[in-house]
């Protein structure tokens, strides 16, 4: 059955770091957010070599990255105060202090935005911890009428709607249990996708980085914790990627697929944010590159049984 999931490599609960996929803090979302901020700061501090900022480390220095005192000095803040941030304490850094920390840690634009999201959540953050469970009939009808493969996701990347073209290209989503019809779970746990996507490991790493950046505003949501905890338990690769805390932003990208009936396909895909729908809803649309015959093959497959199914 094409909807069968396989748990390939289990990870012990102790191997996942605190404040990431496995810690719930008694259901306190704010504590979860502060812990995630602390872990983010630690990973970025460890990623900055002393040499890159002109420091000459002592011979017996054990830390690979910067020391807390060095970050505090570069940011112009108290070492004690910075230590409290890495301990997940309840403090409220100003925008100026966050900017100074971002400079001290050499953060890029995506990382700076992530830092602000974790440190200064917007007033509506609690409401954003509720994910949509369905899409409007208007959005579903629009998706269904597209020739290109397209599907709608909520903020936890659950697939809420898809069209016929999606089934022909990516497999029978309807064969999956609703709890398994999640893009991250499908990438790591649905065997057909391991074969379908030519550069599967690159896709997996990119997806985790995008998911972390996209869901930062939902930090502490029970569904999000349940999803990442289960994946960290069942997939060693996901657990490692999640601990690394890399960030990426959704954008127009390319994918190469090895399809059972359609052969090698080079496709572009892009996430869209429709207006007038819940703010956690996005739509992913696939398109063919104009310089190849992929579009003709996709259109020719319409009405045929060209899905992933049991053939991949």
Residue 200: give its domain's CATH number.
3.30.450.180
- pLDDT above 70: percentage of residues in the chain: 79
pLDDT for 251 equals: 74
155 and 252 together in one domain: yes
Give domain status of residue 250, yes or no.
yes
Give domain status of residue 291, yes or no.
yes
Give domain status of residue 15, yes or no.
no
Q: Band the pLDDT of 306: cuts 50, 70, 90.
A: very low
- Give long-range contacts, CB 8 A cutoff, 24+ apart: 235-238: 235/7, 235/8, 235/9, 235/11, 235/188, 235/189, 236/8, 236/9, 236/10, 236/11, 237/9, 237/188, 237/201, 237/204, 238/184, 238/188, 238/204, 238/208
Domain interval for residue 234: 137-311
61 and 181 together in one domain: no
> How many domains are contained in the chain?
2
How far is the C-alpha of 117 from the C-alpha of 126, rounded, in Å? 13
pLDDT at 215 over 80: yes
Q: Name the region of 220 (left: φ>0; alpha: ψ -120 to 50; beta: rest).
A: left
pLDDT for 38 equals: 94
pLDDT for 4 equals: 59
Residue count of the chain: 312
pLDDT for 231 equals: 97
246 and 101 together in one domain: no
Mind spelling out the 3-state secondary structure of 197-233? ECCHHHHHHHHHHHHHHHCHHHCCCHHHHHHHHHHHH
pLDDT for 22 equals: 38
Give domain status of residue 128, yes or no.
no
pLDDT for 192 equals: 94
pLDDT in tens, 149-184: 999 999 999 999 999 999 999 999 999 999 999 999
pLDDT for 1 equals: 35
Give domain status of residue 33, yes or no.
yes
Q: How many Å separate Cα 51 from the centre of its chain?
A: 31
155 and 259 together in one domain: yes
141 and 106 together in one domain: no
pLDDT in tens, 52-110: 888 776 666 676 789 999 999 999 999 999 999 999 998 888 889 999 999 999 999 99
Q: Which residues pair with 285 in a beta bridge?
A: 150, 270
180 and 279 together in one domain: yes
Give the mean model confidence (pLDDT) for residues 262-284: 91
Q: Band the pLDDT of 188: cuts 50, 70, 90.
A: very high
pLDDT in tens, 21-45: 433 344 677 888 899 999 999 999 9
150 and 250 together in one domain: yes
Give domain status of residue 42, yes or no.
yes
Give domain status of residue 145, yes or no.
yes
112 and 214 together in one domain: no
161 and 118 together in one domain: no
32 and 168 together in one domain: no
pLDDT at 128 over 70: no
Among all chains, which residue has been given the structure tokens 């569904």?
Answer: 223
Q: Domain end: 91, 123, 155, which one?
A: 123
**DSSP string across 4-42:** -B-------GGGSPTTTTS--GGG-HHHHHHHHHHHHHH
Among all chains, which residue has been given the structure tokens 């100003």?
Answer: 94
158 and 243 together in one domain: yes
Give domain status of residue 241, yes or no.
yes
pLDDT for 50 equals: 86
Report which of residues 198 and 297 the model is more confident about. Answer: 198
298 and 160 together in one domain: yes
CATH number of residue 42's parent domain: 1.10.260.40
Question: Starting at the edge strand that comes first in sequence, how are the strands of the sheet with 253-259 ordered?
Answer: 159-162, 150-153, 282-288, 263-272, 253-259
pLDDT in tens, 229-256: 999 999 999 999 999 999 988 777 889 9
Report which of residues 121 and 83 the model is more confident about. Answer: 83
Q: How many Å separate Cα 243 from the centre of its chain?
A: 12
pLDDT for 19 equals: 37
């Amino acid at each position: 059955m094409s909807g069968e999931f396989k748990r390939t490599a289990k990870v012990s609960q102790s191997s996942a770091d605190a404040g990431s996929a496995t810690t719930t803090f008694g259901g306190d979302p704010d504590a979860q957010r502060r812990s995630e901020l602390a872990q983010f700061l630690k990973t970025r501090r460890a990623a900055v070599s002393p040499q890159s900022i002109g420091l000459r480390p002592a011979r017996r220095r054990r830390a690979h990255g910067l020391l807390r005192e060095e970050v505090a000095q570069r940011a112009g803040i108290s070492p004690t105060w910075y230590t409290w941030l890495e301990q997940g304490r309840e403090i409220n850094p100003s925008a100026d202090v966050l900017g100074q920390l971002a400079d001290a840690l050499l953060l890029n634009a995506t990382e700076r935005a992530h830092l602000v999201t974790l440190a200064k959540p917007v007033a509506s953050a609690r409401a954003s911890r509720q994910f949509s469970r369905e899409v409007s009939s208007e959005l579903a009808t629009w998706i269904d009428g597209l020739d290109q493969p397209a599907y709608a996701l909520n903020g936890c990347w659950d697939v809420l709607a898809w069209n016929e073209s999606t089934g022909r290209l990516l497999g029978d989503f309807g064969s999956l249990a609703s709890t398994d019809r999640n893009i991250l779970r499908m990438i790591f746990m649905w065997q057909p996708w391991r074969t379908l996507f030519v550069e599967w490991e690159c896709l997996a790493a990119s997806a985790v980085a995008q998911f972390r950046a996209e869901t930062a505003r939902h930090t502490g949501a029970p569904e999000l914790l349940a999803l990442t905890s289960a994946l960290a338990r069942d997939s060693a690769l996901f657990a490692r990627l999640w601990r690394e805390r890399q960030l990426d932003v959704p954008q127009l990208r390319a994918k190469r697929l090895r399809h059972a009936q359609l052969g090698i396909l080079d496709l572009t895909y892009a996430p869209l944010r429709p207006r007038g729908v819940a703010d956690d809803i996005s739509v992913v649309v696939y398109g063919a590159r104009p310089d190849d015959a992929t579009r003709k093959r996709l259109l020719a497959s319409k009405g045929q049984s060209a899905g992933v199914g049991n053939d991949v």
